[in-house]
Structure 1
């Protein structure tokens, strides 16, 4: 159905104590979903817990190598785009500024379907901060991404309905 994620060796699922996937069929085109993912100004409309996103490279949208900072779930996070295939896949990796030893790698794959898109997201996490949060609530990251996919689907579908 889609190509495997190009995991950095250190962040592969087999080396990461936290690994989860989420997927959803979305009644919106891959282009609409892509436009939301690569424009961090839209993230607060669908990304639970995301505060202001600042692109550090002077671009208006994400592209391969783009570095950005945001506040995510109360953590100031630094990340960079490490995979970028327009309208089909994007991934970023980074760490919370409070714990650079706590790394995360988050990938998105968008596949066209007859009714819109199949959206797949997968994340690996390592390090003391993420492990401590997972101990407090073992499903917190998976559940947050379920909410993220539902909100992204809603925003994408509304955008298409307004344009259509």
Structure 2
């Protein structure tokens, strides 16, 4: 079963052959964006390729230490929440079930802005499984996260519109 590792230290960009960031201004409150990120039932509505998220610790939402299984990058993965600062930062680390030696670490930072929030995400990946996938499509992970941010912004903005927020903010 999945065991927590010192992910932030082990997965720093300087030690990871795959590292990328994506960012977007979102016309939705940090609270709205946060509510989507911590709600496993919401992920399929914005996370490309995700069909399910199963929490393994009896929680109903993500929190520090929550272990979960999902399907990311076409792979069934184990992961756990490694960082958790409500409305500000969440990060999880994990690995594909088929390739435990290949690790990934995905962090989100939400910063309030006058028109909503700035959403920034960073991922580091290590191990032969991810490296082989990257060889076939070097920018596939980055492009997928661009789609992820756009879809998350759309859902968050729609939720915000129902409570009186404004539309998307250009980057």
Instruction: Give 1:122 deviation, angstroms.
Output: 0.2
Question: Mind listing any 5+ residue stretches in structure 1 that lack a counterpart?
Answer: 1-5
SS of aligned partner of 1:146: helix
The farther-off stretch of 76-85 and 8-17 is 8-17
1:83 corresponding residue in structure 2: 83
Aligned residue number for residue 17 of structure 2: 17
Indicate the residue corresponding to 1:133 in structure 2.
133
Q: Could you say which residue in structure 2 is the equivalent of 1:149?
A: 149
Q: Deviations over 1:116-160 (max 9, x none)?
A: 000000000000110001000000000000000000000000011
Partner Cα separation in structure 2 for residue 160 and residue 15 of structure 1: 38
Is 2:57 aligned against 1:65? no
Alpha-carbon offset, residue 7 of structure 1? 5.8
For 1:81 and 1:73, the matched residues in 2 are separated by 18
Question: How many angstroms does 1:73 deviate by?
Answer: 2.5
Give the RMSD, CA atoms, in angstroms.
1.1
Distance 1:64 1:104 in 2: 17
Q: CA deviation digits over 1:10-48, x for unaligned, max 9?
A: 111000000000000000000000000000100000000
Name the CA distance, whole Å, in 1 between partners of 2:72 and 2:22. 18
> Within 2, Cα distance between the matches of 1:74 and 1:110?
26
Query: Structure 2 CA distance, aligned partners of 1:108 and 1:16?
Result: 18
Matched residue of 1:80: which SS? strand
Matched, 1:96 2:96: yes
Q: CA deviation at 1:74?
A: 1.8
What is aligned with 1:41?
41
Question: Which ranges in structure 2 are unaligned for 5 or more consecutive residues?
Answer: 1-5, 165-171
| Aligned counterpart, 1:53 | 53
Q: TM-score under structure 2 normalisation? A: 0.91
Q: Structure 1 stretches (4+) deviating beyond 3 angstroms? A: none
* TM-score w.r.t. length of structure 1: 0.95
Aligned length: 159
3-state DSSP class of the match of 2:42? Answer: helix
Q: 1:30-85 CA distances to partner (integer Å, 9 max, x unpaired)?
A: 00000000001000000001121000000110000000000113200000000000
